[in-house]
Structure formats: structure tokens, C-alpha cells
Structure 1
Amino acid sequence: MGVVYPESQSARLGVVLRRSPGVTAWSKWVWRATSVLPGAGDASWKVLRDEGGVTEYHASTHDIHLYVSDTEAYAHELQAQSPSVYVILREGEDDARMDVLTVTVSPYEAQDYSDSGEEQVERVAMPPAVLEWVTAFVDQHHREEPFVKRRRNKHRTDRKQAGIGDARISQATDVYRAPTANLQEGAE
């Protein structure tokens, strides 16, 4: 078990991956996360099913953490038509496997991994036991923050003189002049 933070909870989820033959010459295998197993024990690529070249593995088991600071993301996921668990995959050292980096219920965290393009983000239906656990956590800890419109700074910036540069350096001209200052000098 990893580091335990105050105001957080964690649970164990097993990850089931399906390996099927690729359909192109560039991809020998296609990997998909198909389900998660709440409360699963440790596993290391245990074969669950093997039919017609398609193999399902209990690839690994990970701790999934819920943090009070992320309840907005969890609440957002719970409002989805079908709440999901996100499995983050990365190509392994050998091309025969995918490594499971982490498992999360935060769509914001999943988006961060998706943006890099280095990881494969898979959505898996959230099992009822996990759905109840996340819902109870959000009900207990989530507080809606009221929207506060930002006020505009009324400081006037148009009164500053362009092209002054560093006041500590005494010189006849300033090498850091603004381009508008050059135009005004040429017009004179």
C-alpha cells in the first residue's frame, strides 16, 4: 500500500486486459481494458480466458485513491450517463505487453494522461460496489463552491511612457525602446 494521506480513502482494483490480434501490419496486438475487479488480490498476468487468439488477463491490481481535494472531478464523473473507471496503459518494455500505470475515477486526471499522447486511456464501466463507494465519499466530502465573478483591475496602464527601459542605467538613448517610440521619432 502506498502513502496514506489525511482525508483520503483507497481500495484495491484488479485490471482485466484483453489482447486480440491486430488488424494492420503495424500493430501485432490490440489491447483493451475490459473490466475492473473490486477487492481483487495481487495478480501478475493471470490468464482468465483464451479463445480464438483473444486472451483476457488479470494483468495487475492497483490501489485507487479518492482525495477530498478532487471531489469536484468525482461528482462530475458520477453525473455521466454511465460512470466509468479510467485505466491508464503504456507500452511495456517488450512489445508483447501493456503496462497498467494507474487506475482512477477522476475524468480530469484521465484527461491529463490523454493529453500527453504517450498513454492509452481506457474507460471501463464502474462496478456497482465502486459506484456506491465513490458516491458515499462525494456525499460526505464535496462542497459546491459558489461562482465568483472576477473583478477587473482598474489600474490605468496607458499612462506609462514607452521606451524608458531600465531606469538604473544612464544613457542618451535606450536600446529597449518600444516600436511605437521609433515610429514617433521618425515622424518628427
Structure 2
Amino acid sequence: MSLRPHTEVAVILRCERIDNRWQPWRWSLADVVPHEEAFGTAPRLLLQDALEERWLFPDMAVELFRDDAEGYYLNLASPAPCWFVLWRLDEEAPEGQRPLARPVAVSLSYHDAGRWLDAQETVEQVPAPAPVREWLQAFVDLHYQPEPRRRRRPQSFQPLLDRFGNPASVSTDKQRGGAHG
């Protein structure tokens, strides 16, 4: 593991039966919890009945990067700071079995979530607990530097343009109103 601040988590994904002829099952993110040694490192089935399955995917690292402090700040500034989880369906499901969803990455950065969504990935979120928010806030306090505000140029100093964006000039010697002198 690197020297960057990090935490180990486990992701719980839920597969629920839905009443749909085209898609009888739907995967969704259930929770992100602190990793425990007892979880091991291999995915395992936690619950299975006629209506749902819950799978635990342990030992996922979440690292904090100094150059992404703004992404963490944006998460903390939101009404509900959260974990972002990117997950994908297994491409290699055994014949006749439902594909297993697997988490690929977990982050606390709005920027990461945005990049993943732009790439058409499946990204879901769950609320981050208070100890995680406090840990993230300490990191943001140490590394986030807001962009300095740029002074806006007064309107009187803006160049005059016509409606097509071409330079325009103002003349004071032209007669108005059709009166010819």
C-alpha cells in the first residue's frame, strides 16, 4: 500500500428480483462498510432467498490524492457527502447463471464520479458515515486551496461589439429621427 492516506472498505452489492419480463433481476449498491480481517479477501454471498442476494466484496482500498482535494471538497460541501462506487457486471458468467456484479473502484471524490459517469460506467452512491467525513475534512483542510477569484473588468472598459461580435463605434455627429438640417 502507498504512503498516501487511505482506508480499506468492503462493498455490499444487492441483487433483487423485480417484476419485469425483460430483466427479472437488478443489481444495486447496498452499502460501503469498513473492512475487517474476518471478511478475508474473496467475495462471498451473505444472503440468498427467493427475492434477493447480498454479496460482500472485501479489501477495497480508498486512497486520497492531494491533487484531487477539490473533488473531496465538493463531496463534503454537498448536502449528503457519500461514497461513490463504480461497479460492472461480470462478463464471464457460467452458462445458465446470472452474471455477478463486481465493484471496480470506490472513491470519495466528485471528480472521480464525474469521470466515471462521463465514461458511461455504472456509478452509485451511499452516504459516508461521520468518522469518514471527519477524516476527509481533515485532508481537505490540509490540502484544498480554492482558486483565487479573478477581478472582473468593469463594463466601461469592455470593447464595444455589435450583435455579430464585430467591433463597433459610436458617433455623436449623426442626426437621428429623420430630421434633415
- Does residue 35 of structure 1 match 2:28? no
How many angstroms apart in 1 are the aligned matches of 2:122 and 2:19?
A: 18
**Where does residue 141 of structure 2 map in the other structure?**
139
2:63 corresponds to: 65
Contact 2:81 2:127 in 1 (8 A): yes
- Structure 1 residues 1-188: aligned runs within 5 Å: 1=1, 4=2, 8-41=4-37, 42-93=40-91, 94=93, 95-117=98-120, 119-148=121-150
What secondary structure sits across from 2:99 in the alignment? coil
Q: 1:43 to 1:58 in 2, by over 3 A?
A: farther
What residue number does 1:168 align with?
Answer: none
Q: Which digits, 9 at most, give the CA deviation of each residue in 1:144-171, with x for residues without a partner?
A: 22033699xxxxxxxxxxxxxxxxxxxx
Q: Deviations over 1:52-75 (max 9, x none)?
A: 421212123310010111111101
Name the structure where strand makes up a greater proportion of residues.
1
Q: Distance in 2 between matches of 1:47 and 1:53?
A: 14
Q: State the AA in 1 paired with 2:36.
A: A
Q: Distance in 1 between matches of 2:87 and 2:132?
A: 20
**Structure-2 residue corresponding to 1:154:** none
Query: Following the alignment from structure 1 to structure 2, what is the Cα–Cα distance between the partners of residues 43 and 83?
Result: 27
Count of aligned pairs between the two proteins: 148
**Structure 2 residue identity aligned to 1:48:** L
The alignment's C-alpha RMSD in Å is 2.3
In 1, the alpha carbon distance for the partners of 2:33 and 2:129 equals 8
What TM-score, normalized by structure 2, do the two folds share? 0.72
Q: Specify the alignment match of 1:165 in structure 2.
A: none
Distance (Å, rounded) in 2 between the aligned partners of 1:52 and 1:131: 36
State the SS of the aligned residue for 2:24. strand
Contact 2:35 2:58 in 1 (8 A): no
Secondary structure, counterpart of 1:34 in structure 2: strand
Structure 1: give runs of 5+ residues left out of the alignment: 152-188
Do the aligned partners of 2:89 and 2:100 also contact (CA within 8 Å) in 1? yes
Asked whether the equivalents of residues 8 and 60 of structure 2 are also in contact (C-alpha less than 8 Å), the reply is yes
Supply the distance in 1 between the matched residues of 2:65 and 2:149 (Cα, whole angstroms): 22
The DSSP-based 3-state class of the residue aligned with 1:27 is coil
Helix, strand or coil at the partner of 2:78: coil
Q: Distance in 1 between matches of 2:41 and 2:29?
A: 15
